[in-house]
Structure formats: C-alpha cells, structure tokens
C-alpha cells in the first residue's frame, strides 16, 4: 500500500511537474494541429434516421425514392433505363451524388451487364456534370460493399461520386486546414440538374 508523499524530495518532484493551463476562452485538450469541421446535419444519419428497418425492398429508400412524384423533392438528378442519379441526403461535400440501379441488388457481382454499364456510364457523366457545375479539383468514387465496409444502406448497391476541392474535408476523416463549402441541397439540385441538361452524354 502506498504512503502519502512527505519531505523535501517529494516537494521537489512536485515542483518539477510542468502543468500547461489553457488561456481563458480556449477549449481544453491536447493540441493536435487539426481544425474541426462541424457537420451536425449528419448526426441524424448517425443516429439511424432514414435508415431502413429491414433489408427488404419495401423498406429501402433507394427503391422508394424513384416512386415519388416530384424528382426535385426526391433530389433525383437524372433517370436512366436501369439506374438513376440522386443527391446524397447527407453529403460529404456539395454535389455528392449517388448512382443507383432501380433493382434492389446488394452486390456489385450481382449486377446485370446492362446495369454494370449504366452505373459506370452515369458515374462518368456525374463527374463531367459536376466539373461543369462547380469545378472540383478531384473526386472520390466508391462502392461500399457491406456494413463492415461502411455501407449505410448495404442492401441496395449505390456508387458514390464525391467532388473534392483542395483544403476541403476528406472523404471520411476530417484532416488539417479544412474549409466547409456549405450549400443547401435544393440549391445543389438546381445547379447540378441545370449542368446535367447542358452537358451532353459522350456520343451524343
């Protein structure tokens, strides 16, 4: 069992301890060189809002979204024969698009040749359209296969097309010297759909 410190030696040890006190008005914590980009709109998604209760197509938002009558309210940018393009309701950056087959299919290997071609072709067109609309410096493209791989809705395959700008938020973590590029979803829908109409498909 330990004993309480006594004597000059113990006092000397306490005197040698360096304690850093943050200036008034600053938040405590270890400095790490990171600036914080707060995205509170994503908290409802993290909490489970709008996530399907089951893996059935009847509970799947990617199956029900195309059935809505108003594409603007549904954030649908373009409809193709076997797939469609929709804005991400919880975007990582303005213009974050999803390419979804209409068919309720979970795995990339289960797509038909027609669906595979449509997802690839629409992903390419998404890049051209967003470049025309807002001139990003790059893109993240990704298919998250399974919940363990980060798929929020694993039962219905969807391709992410995420525009990136120098100094913005990274695809998943927020890294140093970040800047928010805020834009309301309806404004983004207007910008992207107008650019889509002006940007012909390759071969047109």
Per-residue pLDDT 10s for the chain (204 aa) are 544 444 444 444 455 666 565 566 555 555 555 555 555 555 555 555 556 576 677 789 999 999 998 999 999 999 999 999 999 988 888 899 999 999 999 999 999 999 999 999 999 999 999 999 999 999 999 999 988 887 878 999 999 999 998 866 554 444 344 445 457 788 899 999 999 999 888 765
| Backbone angles phi and psi of 75, in degrees to 5 | 70, 20
Catalytic residue, chosen from 78, 96, 156, 158, is 158
State residue 196's pLDDT score.
93
State residue 204's pLDDT score.
56
Q: Where do the domains of the chain lie?
A: 54-198
State residue 203's pLDDT score.
63
Residue-by-residue DSSP string for 137-184: SEEEEEE--SGGGT-SSTTS--EEEEEE-TTS--SSS--SS-------
0.85 cut: is pTM over it?
A: no
| Backbone angles phi and psi of 187, in degrees to 5 | -65, -40
Q: Is 158 a catalytic residue?
A: yes
Residue-wise pLDDT tens digits, 60-103: 999 999 999 899 999 999 999 999 999 998 888 889 999 999 99
Is domain 54-198 classified as CATH 1.10.10.10?
no
What six digits make up the tokens of 40? 């509170």
């Amino acid at each position: 069992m330990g004993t309480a410190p006594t004597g000059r030696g113990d006092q000397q040890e306490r005197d040698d301890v360096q304690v850093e006190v943050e200036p008034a008005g600053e938040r405590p914590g270890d400095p790490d060189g990171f600036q914080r980009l707060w995205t509170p709109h994503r908290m409802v998604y993290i909490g489970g809002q709008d996530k399907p209760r089951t893996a059935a197509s009847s509970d799947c938002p990617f199956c029900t979204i195309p059935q809505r009558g108003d594409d603007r309210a549904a954030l649908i940018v373009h409809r193709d024969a076997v797939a469609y393009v929709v804005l991400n309701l919880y975007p990582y950056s303005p213009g974050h698009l999803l390419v979804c087959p209409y068919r309720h299919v979970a795995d990339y290997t289960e797509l038909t040749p027609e669906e595979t071609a449509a997802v690839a072709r629409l992903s390419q067109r998404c890049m051209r359209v967003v470049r025309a609309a807002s001139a990003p410096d790059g893109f993240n493209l990704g298919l998250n296969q399974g919940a363990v791989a980060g798929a929020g809705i694993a039962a219905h395959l969807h391709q992410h097309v995420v525009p990136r700008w120098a100094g913005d938020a990274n695809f998943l973590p927020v890294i140093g010297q970040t800047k928010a590029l805020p834009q309301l979803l309806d404004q983004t829908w207007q910008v992207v759909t107008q650019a889509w109409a002006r940007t012909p498909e390759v071969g047109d």
